[in-house]
Amino acid sequence: MRARLSTTFRSLTVRNYRLFASGQLIKLIGVWMMYIAQDWLVLELTDNSPTALGLVTAAQFVPVLALTLYAGSLADRFDKRKLLVISNGAWAVLAIIQAILVATGVIQMWMIMVFALMLGIAQAVETPVRQSFVSELVGKPLLPNALSLSAATFQTARITGPALAGVAISVFGTGPVFLISTLMAIAPVIMQIQINPDALHRKALVPAGEIEAKIADGIRYVRHRHDLLLPMVTIAVIAMFGYNFQLTLALLAKTVFNTSAATFGLFNTALAVGALCGALAGTARKSRPSVYLFLGAAICFGVFAIAVGMSDSVWLVLLLLVPTGFSTVFLGQAANQRIQLGVDSAYRGRVMALFVLIFMGTAPVGAMIASFIAEHFGAQACIWFGGSISLAAGVSALIWQLRHAGEKLSLQVRPRPRLRVIQAESVTVA
């Protein structure tokens, strides 16, 4: 057990990474508390309107479409630690102002939309910089472990934040939840200031100039790399249609099962428990994950999402959200690690920005599609429809990969059942 724990958490032996991870954990718990409180507040202000909730969700991610690629070029040209301090500081200031407006009772729907957009701008800059900064904190040998632990940090916050928010909203209302979350948003700024720049694993920064050309270079680099293009295209489809739980779980709790904010919190917690297990499952990985591991996770996610959408019991939904959360994060981490461990360091910022763009930038479109389906056919139809599209994307990507590599699948029954990938001259286990 001691050996297993030392393997799982080995990146935490690096002081800079400990500071980074602890700051992120505190902030993300507060962020999830704020998101839960915000979704509930929107439903209260708009008489349970799925369209209003979809508009707020879309506003949070619209800046990703406009700014993420630019932020990736900044990450390759400037000090990532300083960029993170600036973007996290901006997030904290905006969150504090919004919390004061909520606590004083003067908040209106249009204000929520404005803050969602402005917070999205800070997030659009912070996310690709943070993604590419992890390699500087630990170096390439520890990068798979550090990426998995970063995902585990995110999912730990998803477990703690919604659970705390659901109870706090029921007892105190939305105002105190916003105030607590803003205090927690300051943590990463404090921790990142304490990071030792001399201990970072840095490569030479790209000289300033011709930003547009540099962004285009990153796009061309990915376009000519099938091993990077496949996970990006697959994730783009799944993120757009399948990763809409922030919107659908709120509607599922309030409009389908007619329950309280506490049940909404439980739904998010169940999803996050599985997601945390999925993140920890990847901590022992020391090399680049197989493309078939990624595709298997994509197919599993689609199957579980369909099952959640077809469930008619609160307890069955809670049960199914655990494996759904596992496959969600296992899939995302497999894509992230496959891309990060396959990209040249000089392009990492721009490539990760492109990954963030397709992973998060599809959310505005997905949120509007999901809200339309939920408005006309219900939240359950929205979930199983997204799962069906995700399953189709995973199967299509698998067929694409097999044809591109000249391989085929074979089911072996004895001595034990397993799926094998048969190549022209050799046989390997998928």
pLDDT at 393 over 50: yes
Cβ neighbours, 10 Å, residue 207: 8
Is 232 a member of any domain? yes
Strands (E), 302-364: none
State which residues form the domain around 80: 2-192+210-429
Closest among 121, 171, 422, 155 to 269, alpha carbons compared? 155
Q: What is the mean pLDDT of residues 90-102?
A: 88
Least-confidence region, from 97-101, 170-174, 291-295, 313-317: 170-174
Let me know: does 355 contact 232? Beta carbons within 8 Å. Answer: yes
Is 284 a member of any domain? yes
Partnered with residue 409 across adjacent β-strands are 421
Question: 232-284 pLDDT, tens per residue?
Answer: 899 989 988 888 787 788 778 877 787 776 777 788 778 878 888 887 787 66
What is the reported pLDDT for 426? 47
Closest among 352, 359, 366, 290 to 329, alpha carbons compared? 359
Q: What is the mean pLDDT of residues 209-237?
A: 77
* Residue found under tokens 């900044």: 74
Is 109 exposed, middle or buried, given 0-12, 13-18 or 19+ CB atoms closer than 10 A?
middle
Question: 162-201 pLDDT, tens per residue?
Answer: 777 777 777 777 778 888 888 888 888 999 899 888 888 7
Let me know: does 112 contact 38? Beta carbons within 8 Å. Answer: yes
Question: 405-427 pLDDT, tens per residue?
Answer: 777 766 666 666 666 667 655 44
Is 373 a member of any domain? yes
Question: 72-88 pLDDT, tens per residue?
Answer: 777 777 788 899 999 99
pLDDT tier at 322, thresholds 50, 70, 90: very high
Residue 415: cis peptide before it, omega within 30 degrees of 0: yes
Instruction: Write out the DSSP string of 197-208.
Output: GGGS-PPPPPPS
Domain count of the chain? 1
Residue of 96 and 212 predicted with greater confidence: 96
To the nearest whole number, what is the mean pLDDT of the chain?
Answer: 80
What is the number of residues in the chain?
430
Q: The domain spanning residue 93 has which CATH number?
A: 1.20.1250.20
Question: 325-366 pLDDT, tens per residue?
Answer: 899 888 888 888 888 878 877 777 778 778 877 877 676 677
User: Distance between CA 286 and CA 288 in Å, rounded?
Assistant: 7
Is 203 a member of any domain? no
What is the reported pLDDT for 4? 53
pLDDT tier at 429, thresholds 50, 70, 90: very low
Is 276 a member of any domain? yes
